[in-house]
Amino acid sequence: MTAAIFKCAFRQNAGSRMPGLTKGDIYRALGAGAAFSVMLTGGFAAMSAWQCGGVCLPETIGNAALSFAAGAFGLGPVVIFGRRRDA
């Protein structure tokens, strides 16, 4: 199943209904991941500062990495394919 999705998303046929990904698509996905990461990590850092009286830097870095991955791979496809309109 994953191989079929990968093959469909990355094919570069000129006559296909769904063209491959462009650089702009990748940048939009990474931008969505970065925005999601900033918002979620900021919220978690504020919550830990409120509860513990200080921010734990290793926990904040781990949260930033995980939230960036979740944003890029979770929200990225939604951002990429949500903007495409078939003519």
- Cα 75 from chain centroid? 5
Indicate whether 52 belongs to any domain. Answer: yes
d(CA 18, CA 67): 29
Indicate whether 9 belongs to any domain. Answer: no
1 pLDDT band (50/70/90 cuts)? Answer: very low
d(CA 23, CA 58): 32
Share of the chain above pLDDT 90, in %: 20
Indicate whether 3 belongs to any domain. Answer: no
37 pLDDT band (50/70/90 cuts)? Answer: very high
The range of the structural domain enclosing residue 51 comes to 22-83
Section 12-21 average pLDDT: 58
Indicate whether 13 belongs to any domain. Answer: no
pTM over 0.75, yes/no: no
